[in-house]
A and B are shown apart, each in its own frame.
Chain A
């Protein structure tokens, strides 16, 4: 009981033992999250990972099978969406097409029988914050994608709630606009200080927006941590492979007396962040944490292809029959077949158990 009152002042949103099944299909398996006031949380995962499902459960748009949901210390598990103190922004914007922007913002408020001047005040505020004042009287059909998205955010804003839910709000926009609106959402969060839960499949959005990322797979949270932590210390092989592009390189080998044995090579593990025991292991090393020098010595690989991206380039190598990617800001051109000798920044590498796939 004590715990609950304490939690209520700090925790904005709590999910406990959340399960969801459709018949025999288990979509969410025991999801637990505690989200602090003002945190920006991103639910990240591929399609079918259950990320949008969690959001719909929080919103009350799906009836959960088991578990509890608290918002602002209040148990809202059985509450209607409108009573949960949430606002939601949808992928397709879901604006009411026959109403003006103002009508869209006012529809829910009018229905809640708010006084007229209060409705006007809230709409003005939202319009000012989102800079949509000029087109308040236009219909959604006459707006661009980015403007529509702002109106959709406005509809959540006027509800004057503490928790905002975003369901892939930027995936219908083109890449340039997406990058712009991403920054705007970040600014909005800083300005408003609300708790935000944001669903996306885009890891760049996740990395740039989130205070913490919950990475999901098959309805199970794999890791729930800051972007930095997820990037640096992935808890398992799946997380390691999901985050980062090009993906992390994996080398199969074994640990023996503080060294990692890969084929005939012995890579010292001094400086590794952890205490791995001897045995079978997989070494994960990111393309950007590998350096290379021309030559044939030590761990050496042959260049297969070079992708030049201007500021940096990615080398696709063949390392003893295995593919290996390397990112470098050095713009030297390496013709196919060039031999490079590699060295790893072991302090930023990860080791995984091949059986449990967990980080060592």
Chain B
């Protein structure tokens, strides 16, 4: 330090030293937790670890077992169905609702508040409420039967073939408001003069939405897509609370598979392999997006 001062130039590392010290928690989080931990898990997914992690490599053995496991295959199938339904429905409904709220209506704030409140709730709360509403003996099914339609059957939570749609119903209730708010913010960001121009041009509102507004909202759609997808891959507490993965293993999802393998079945290697597959899924979505987003921004 003294030496460098004598030469008139502070030592590089010490320039801005306070900022660097202040950033240590961030650097540790980024490098140790996000990079280091992920690398650790990926590494150990190639080992035979069971109760305790140990570096006893088995190559792709864990992955072979994973993809041969019924529970995992059902988890993946559920995730795909759940993901597609969530994306399509939350986008379509969210966008339509945003368009309705964008019509300079009265009580906009009231409607928005109502549509968004489920998003403030925990997935556990959401799961439990919908478990109750979909309860066959007291909920929707029993009410409709009580109205005289004796053969009516709607019991998703106890029917393995459709249980995942029961989860979709709950997840939509919680998440659509969020998509709507993002879309509404996007709609509000559109220059009012665009609307005026299209009125002078004599273009009906629905055509303006379809041909002018929707293309303009592309960045909002992409961002929403990424966020919603990342949320879908992580879905865990909702399933635990609403179905517990049942009936049987019919509503298992990858995140739950990981937890069960790691903390209940003492089968760490499987857990690591499964979580690595989750990471891979997210990476496939995030990397092209990040590339477009940040690559594009540098040019602009």
A and B, direct touch (CB closer than 8 Å):
yes
User: How many residues belonging to A are interface residues under a CB distance threshold of 8 Å?
Assistant: 28
Asked if B121 lies at the interface with its beta carbon under 8 angstroms from chain A, I say no
Q: Is B26 an interface residue (CB 8 A)?
A: no
Structural contact, A111 and B201, CB atoms closer than 8 A: yes
Contacts of B202 in A (CB 8 A): 80-83, 108, 111-112
Which of B61-69, B101-109, B192-200, B227-235 sits within the interface? B192-200
Chain A positions 70 through 96: 1 when the CB is less than 8 Å from some CB of chain B, otherwise 0: 000000000011110011101111111
Most B Cβ at <10 Å: residue of A56, A83, A107:
A107
CB distance from B139 to the nearest CB of A (A): 46
Interface 1/0s, chain B 149-188, versus A by CB < 8 A?
A: 0000000000000000000000000000000000000000
Say yes or no for B189: interface residue by CB 8 A criterion: no
Quick check: is A281 within 8 A (CB to CB) of the other chain? no
Number of residues in B with C-beta < 8 Å to the partner?
18
B residues in contact with A81, CB < 8 Å: 199-200, 202
List the A side residues contacting B203 at CB < 8 Å.
Answer: 107-108, 111
- A95 to chain B: which residues have CB within 8 Å? 197
Contacts of B215 in A (CB 8 A): 97-98
Q: Is A90's CB under 8 angstroms from B197's CB?
A: yes
- For B56, the chain A residues whose CB sits under 8 A away are none
> Do B201 and A94 have beta carbons less than 8 Å apart?
no
Does B55 sit at the interface, judged by CB under 8 A? no
Distance in angstroms between the alpha carbons of A327 and B6 in the assembled complex: 61
Known contacts A98-B212, A98-B215, A111-B207, A92 near B191 by CB under 8 Å? yes
- By a CB distance below 8 angstroms, the chain A residues around B200 are 59, 61, 81-82, 86-88, 108, 159
Given A82-B202, A108-B201, A111-B203, the answer on whether A88 and B196 have CB atoms closer than 8 Å is: yes
| Shortest Cβ gap from A56 to chain B (Å) | 8
Verify B196–A107 contact, CB threshold 8 A.
no
- The answer to whether B216 has its CB under 8 Å from any CB of chain A is yes
Q: How far is the CA of A90 from the CA of B204 in the complex (A)?
A: 19
Asked if A359 is at the interface of the complex by the 8 Å CB criterion, the answer is no
> Does A212 touch B at the CB level, under 8 Å?
no
A111 to B193, CA, bound (A): 19
What is the 8 Å Cβ interface bit string for chain B, positions 207-222, against chain A (1 contact, 0 not)?
1000110011010000
What B residues does A155 contact at CB under 8 A? Answer: 197, 201
For the complex, give the distance between the alpha carbons of A167 and B218 in Å: 28
Q: Within 8 Å CB of A108, what residues of B?
A: 198, 200-203
Alpha-carbon gap, A159 to B196, bound state (A): 15
| Selected A-B contacts with CB under 8 Å, 21 pairs | A56-B196, A59-B196, A59-B200, A61-B199, A82-B199, A87-B200, A88-B200, A90-B193, A90-B196, A91-B193, A93-B193, A94-B194, A97-B216, A98-B216, A99-B212, A107-B201, A108-B198, A108-B203, A111-B201, A111-B204, A159-B200
| Interface residues, chain A, with chain B CB atoms under 8 Å away | 56, 59-61, 80-83, 86-88, 90-99, 107-108, 111-112, 155, 159, 167
List 11 additional A-B contacts (Cβ < 8 Å) besides A94-B191, A108-B203: A61-B199, A90-B193, A92-B193, A94-B194, A95-B197, A98-B218, A99-B211, A107-B198, A107-B203, A108-B201, A111-B201
A-B residue pairs, 6 tightest by C-beta = A82-B202, A108-B201, A98-B215, A94-B193, A94-B197, A90-B193
